[in-house]
Amino acid sequence: MPLVTVRAHDAGIEFFGSSWKDDLFEIRPGIDPPGGGGVNDTAGGACALGVRSRETWGFGNGFRLTFTGISVRLVMESRQDHGIYLVDVDGTQSTVSGYSEAPHCGVLFSADNLPQAKHTVSATLKAKSPASTWEYSYMQLFAIQYDPGSSSSSTGQTPQSAHGSSAPRPTPTTRAVLSSRKAFSAADIAGVTIAGFVLAFGLFVLAVWLFRRCRRRRRFSAVPAYDASEKPLRMRRGKGRRRSVLSDVPSPYMLHHAASASSLGVASIASPGSTLPDYARDDPFSGSSISPFPLIPPPASTKSRAGYASRSPAPIYPPAPSQSYAPIPSPSPSPSYPPSSSRSSEKGRRARVMTPPPPPEDGGTMLPPYRSN
Quote the number of domains for the chain: 2
C-alpha of 96 from chain center: 67
Q: Which of 179, 205, 235 is at the close of a domain?
A: 179
Task: Indicate if 44 and 171 belong to the same structural domain.
Answer: yes
In the predicted model, residues of the chain with pLDDT beneath 70 are: 1, 29-37, 41-43, 151-185, 220-373
Domain identity same for 254 and 115 = no
Evaluate whether 356 touches 368 at the Cβ level (below 8 Å): yes
Would residue 232 count as lying in a domain?
no
Chain CA centroid to CA 158, Å: 65
Model confidence, pTM = 0.41
pLDDT at 49: 80
Query: Would you state the pLDDT for residue 103?
Result: 84
pLDDT confidence of residue 349:
57
d(CA 32, CA 24): 15
CATH of the domain at 140: 2.60.120.260
- pLDDT of res. 155: 45
Q: Which domain holds residue 336?
A: 246-300+318-373
Of 11, 63, 6, 52, the C-alpha closest to 169 is 11
Q: Does 268 share its domain with 146?
A: no
CA distance 288 to 131: 128
Domain shared by 159 and 61, yes or no: yes
Q: Which sign does the torsion angle of CA 217, 223, 227, 232 carry?
A: negative
pLDDT at 160: 38
Q: What is the pLDDT of residue 185?
A: 64
Q: How far is residue 196 from each of residues 186, 207, 273, 280, measured CA to CA in Å?
A: 15, 17, 93, 87
Structural domain contains residue 194: no
Classify the C-alpha dihedral 267-269-275-277 as positive or negative. Answer: negative
Q: Is residue 167 part of a domain?
A: yes
